[in-house]
A and B are shown apart, each in its own frame.
Chain A
Amino acid sequence: MRPFSYLRAQDAPSAVATATGRPETMYLAGGTNLVDLMRLGVAVPDVLVDVSGIASGTVEETGDGTLLVGAGVRNSDLAADPLVRRRQPLLSQAVLAGASGQIRNMATVGGNLMQRTRCPYFQDVTKPCNKRLPGTGCPARTGENRNLAILGHSDSCVATHPSDMAVALAALGAIVHVEGADGPRTVPMPGLHRLPGDEPERDTVLGQGELITAVEVPPLPFAGRSRYRKVRDRASFAFAVVSVAVALDVADGIVRDCRIAFGGVAHAPWRAETAEAVLRGATATETEFARAAEAELAAARPLPGNAFKIPLVRNVLVRTLADLAEAS
């Protein structure tokens, strides 16, 4: 392996000061993705700044019902949090749908957001990949792309973001708290993760050295009736083929409001704003649910190996909406 330095951060500002302006420096938290990437030669940091000792590991409730989730909260603790389970069940379900028990015990909220795509070409250093080595090409477009994007991809990259948790956070409109060289700032979700465009090497809008410190989950009263539904090949320990995160507010058979996001379909968690707009004020029927799904998926541009994802997302969204409507 390549030698590297390991530093244990004392606090967020000093961690940021160490990493800012040094692209060869990376933050280490749970290490469940980064260590794999280092073993594969995909990530080759010179310096690792371990932030696991400084990141907040608590879920706090502020006065207005907002939950402030520390970046160091372990995935398993987030999923088990009683407030999350009651108020945002889709978030708990999304976290539990990901990885394995052992990995969730190690993985953190901040690290989960920052994990890299599992595109097979990205993970194989013997092959070209614009995300890993800009300008080398994207063999996935014509190669094996069953698991890759149908929405928002570019000529340079068709990767998908692998996180389940991020899909739920995108539906909930979470706000990511970031510490940078110029002090703290916030980034709304969706919006943290980018579409690839012609800079696929950039997964997020964060600059070099910026550090996620917390995720704010604003109150959404109707999120008590919400669901994360993940389609995967294996019954556990598999990334989403597609997934949907849905919160639905129905009264008297009419959709008052809803939140919808897709996973496994794009370079970022895909907030389905078109579908949401179609549904607001519509009758809560399968016909309307299908109309909303198709409106969102009209923008889909499937690759040769993944056209099946279009009916798959449509069907799973319609079913999830119908199940939630029925339960209300």
Chain B
Amino acid sequence: MTTLTRPTPSVGSALDRVEGVEKVTGQAKYAYEYAPDDLVYAVPVQADIARGEVRSVDADAAVKLPGVIATIWYGNAPRIAPAENAELSVLQSRRVAYRGQYVAVVVADTLENAVEAARLLRVDYDVEGHDVELRADHPGMYRPEKVNPAYPADTEQGDPDEALAGAEVVVDEVYSTPAEHNNPMEPHATVAVWGDDGLTLYDSTQGATAVRDTVAPLFGLPPGNVRVVSPHVGGGFGSKGTPLSPVVLAALAAKHVGRPVKLTVTRRQMFAVIGYRTPTIQRVRLGADAEGRLKVIVHDAFEQSSRIREFAEQTTTPTRMMYAAPNRRTTHRLVRLDVPTPSWMRAPGETPGMYALESALDELAVACGIDPIELRVRNEPAADPESGLPFSSRNLVACMREGARRFGWAERDPAPGIRLRDGLLVGTGVAASTYPVYRRPSRATATALADGTFTVRIAAADIGTGARTALTQIAADALGVPTGLVRVEIGDSALPDASLAGGSMGTASWGTAVVRACEALTGALRERGGQVPPDGVEVSADTAREVGNGERYARHAFGAQFAEVAVDPGTGETRVLRLLGVFAAGRIVNPKTARSQFIGGMTMGLSMALLEESVMDREFGDYLNHDLAQYHVAACADVRDIEAVWVDEDDPHLNPMGAKGIGEIGIVGTAAAVANAVYHATGVRVRDLPIRVDRLVR
């Protein structure tokens, strides 16, 4: 190496996305765009009953169409090994667990022919009565063993019932959130190619390693004989974090026909087969003294899952650590219904749970006549209330104070329903935000090349977050070279194993592995006197031990969300005039991509507050509004003035970057801030999302 002076560190600077030009010029290749020779098209057939069994499939009309290669269902599908997640056992049983489940697949030479053949395929069922309605008093409610990913379902400290009975001020309300569906711009897609030595999957996924390790055993293959390629992914939000039925069905169809198969999930199919945020019913009880000091918090959540897979969302876990209170109980109850299987959607647990908790805090502030920011400051815990561990850093109060200053909170008159501006009722609201700091083991290699450049390899995923860019910056700084000399390769299971892009832990997990590999490479080069041989020098790192031996701290990011809304007093139309998020998330690796993550999350939170609802059709048992014309996500016109900023936070107890995750915290608390602002504007407390005209018009 000839570099004598270290360049200015890149971490902390707003480096443009390293694949930006590739993306905007259409050269970045997504799963759907791979076209191996001899490619054919698979179109799945979905159950149009909610519960029962496939009796028979009549393919006569379908196979007579030109170009039809195969029709596959339980009766003739290749058998695959059982999976822990029964959603993956596609076409392995006659059972129909929910409407929209895949019951067959048609393969044809063109997409058009496959679509038409799938339309003509006749599936006969033995139909059974279904139950798709979530209610808190459902007799099937039970306590799951654990909630996602591995938290206890229930916790209790002190004597919450006695504390409630003796509290000077009590808030006792029920909040509900509807089912919501992930709608990344790129629908799920897979191109499956079987070769002499195994299976290659071009897949739209949040984790190539996880897809490989999940799919390989289903087909009796060692993981090394499955390769998953996904260099670019057009969003996921959690829906591409768990391998689900589409990728397995593509592999199965390709195996059956002996040709490469392309399978793309349509927008409508996404409302059945790729998971969703469970609807919740939440009862929150707060007991406090007259000054708003919490004596007790009780948070009970009721949720649903499908018959074939238990997914128990961790709705009340943030209530375990947000505020000080000597008495506390949190519970989760789950009912298994004839519905599609819920799964991860951006900040599962925290998002619906903090909507309820932060709405209740606002109600307590009103009941006590205390400013809602001051109420939160008064209930700030000295240590994690659940574990007693010290927080590695906790800057909720700093976020609240900074947000109040920027938002003009000091001028706020707390009286509700009294501000008319241009004929509209105007109000402001605040809510806290939080998300845990996770980290998982990953591996990486770092290579010095003879031409003076470096390559870093890790099977990380950039689902639009900017991960590739952030890792480039992290690697460059660890090597002490400019970013232009570093090439980061991700999105391929042939690269060193990595944890998935989920839980806001990508940068922390992958970045640790990248730093360790780069440090090792720097050491190796030093030993060689800085000389790089013609075939380069490569070293690798594995963070399993480092990640497993962390210091004992409670690690969480925090934030404060401020909203200003205008409500038409005649129609109830609610529009968000301003959104401000202030976050404390450790060191920000790239302010440009970080801002996109924060405001993207906040936009999704706004959308949740006002628009998003997957409507369960009780008669037929599916989510009825299964396209983007009917399932409303926020449009540009809904997002007027949105700003995300962050406070400096130096936390030495996290990872080599000092960074907390930022992919999910932006959505946490937004809906409560909006709902609290609607109360301030109108005097009407809406406790059921979304806040649409029918909840407000009189």
Interface residues of A (CB under 8 A from B): 1-3, 41, 118, 120, 124, 126-127, 139, 142-144, 146, 231-239, 241, 308, 311-312, 315-316, 318-319
Contacts and interface: CB of A to CB of B under 8 A. Distances in A.
B291 interface: no
B116 interface: yes
B24 interface: no
B116 A236 contact: no
Q: What are the 5 A-B residue pairs with the smallest beta carbon separation, nearest first?
A: A315-B570, A235-B637, A236-B637, A308-B694, A126-B48
Contact of B571 (A142, A146, A238, A312): A312
A144 B693 contact: no
9 contacts: A124-B626, A139-B619, A142-B619, A231-B693, A234-B634, A235-B575, A241-B693, A311-B698, A318-B570
Contacts of A142: 619
B114 to A, nearest CB: 10
Interface residues of B, number: 33
Interface stretch (B222-230, B610-618, B649-657, B662-670): B610-618
Interface string B447-476: 000000000000000000000000000000
Contacts of B632: 233-234, 238
B558 to A, nearest CB: 30
B119 interface: yes
A311 B112 CA distance: 47
B638 A235 contact: yes
B497 to A, nearest CB: 41
Interface in B545-581: 570-573, 575
Interface in B110-124: 112, 115-116, 119
A139 B610 CA distance: 27
A2 B119 CA distance: 9
Given A235-B637, A238-B632, A318-B570, A146 B619 contact: no
B155 interface: no
Contacts of B626: 124
A233 B606 CA distance: 13
Contacts of A239: 629
B100 to A, nearest CB: 9
A231 to B, nearest CB: 5
Contact of B630 (A41, A120, A236, A311): A120
A241 to B, nearest CB: 6
B226 to A, nearest CB: 33
B119 A41 contact: yes
B238 to A, nearest CB: 23
Contacts of B610: 233
A233 B632 CA distance: 8
A179 to B, nearest CB: 31
A139 B625 CA distance: 14
A144 B617 contact: yes
Given A3-B116, A143-B620, A234-B637, 16 more contacts: A2-B119, A120-B630, A126-B48, A142-B619, A143-B617, A144-B624, A233-B632, A234-B611, A234-B635, A236-B635, A236-B636, A312-B571, A312-B693, A315-B570, A316-B570, A316-B571
Nearest to B638: A235
B10 to A, nearest CB: 39
B693 A233 contact: yes
Contacts of B81: none
A143 B116 contact: no
A238 B628 CA distance: 10
A232 B570 CA distance: 13
A299 B49 CA distance: 38
A6 to B, nearest CB: 14
A118 B629 contact: yes
Contacts of B367: none
Main secondary structure of the interface of A (DSSP, over half): loop
Nearest to B692: A233
Contacts of B638: 234-236
A75 B638 CA distance: 23
Interface in B575-617: 575, 610-611, 615, 617
B21 interface: no
B697 interface: yes
B618 A120 contact: no
A312 B119 contact: no
B648 to A, nearest CB: 35
Contacts of A235: 575, 635, 637-638
A233 B119 CA distance: 33
B122 to A, nearest CB: 13
Interface in B94-137: 112, 115-116, 119
Contact of A143 (B571, B619, B629): B619
A231 B694 CA distance: 11
Contacts of B573: 231-232
Interface in B14-57: 48
A178 to B, nearest CB: 29
Given A316-B571, A318-B570, A146 B634 contact: no
Given A144-B615, A235-B637, A235-B638, A2 B116 contact: yes
Contacts of A1: 112, 115-116
B678 to A, nearest CB: 14
Interface centre among A127, A146, A234, A318 (most CB of B within 10 A): A234
Nearest to B690: A233
A39 to B, nearest CB: 9
Interface in B134-150: none
Contacts of B572: 312
Contacts of A237: 635, 637
B422 to A, nearest CB: 12
Nearest to A312: B697
Given A231-B573, A235-B575, A146 B116 contact: no
B635 A308 contact: no
Contacts of B637: 234-237
B571 A315 contact: yes
B279 to A, nearest CB: 15
Contacts of B119: 2, 41
Nearest to A142: B619
A237 B628 CA distance: 10
A120 B268 CA distance: 12
Contacts of B625: 120, 144
Contacts of A146: 694
A124 to B, nearest CB: 8
A3 B112 CA distance: 9
A142 B625 CA distance: 16
A3 B117 CA distance: 12
Contacts of A234: 611, 632, 634-635, 637-638
A316 B568 CA distance: 10
A126 B624 CA distance: 11
A239 B628 CA distance: 12
B630 A118 contact: yes
A211 B610 CA distance: 41
B328 to A, nearest CB: 37
Contacts of B115: 1
Contact of B620 (A127, A315, A319): A127
Nearest to A239: B629
Nearest to A36: B629
B395 to A, nearest CB: 34
B98 to A, nearest CB: 14
A233 B615 contact: no
Nearest to B266: A39
B421 to A, nearest CB: 16
A237 B619 CA distance: 29
A234 B626 CA distance: 17
B133 to A, nearest CB: 13
Interface centre among A2, A144, A146, A236 (most CB of B within 10 A): A144
A118 B631 CA distance: 12
Given A235-B637, A238-B632, A143 B618 contact: yes
Contacts of B618: 143
A142 B624 CA distance: 14
Given A231-B571, A231-B573, A233-B611, A311 B697 contact: yes
A126 B46 CA distance: 10
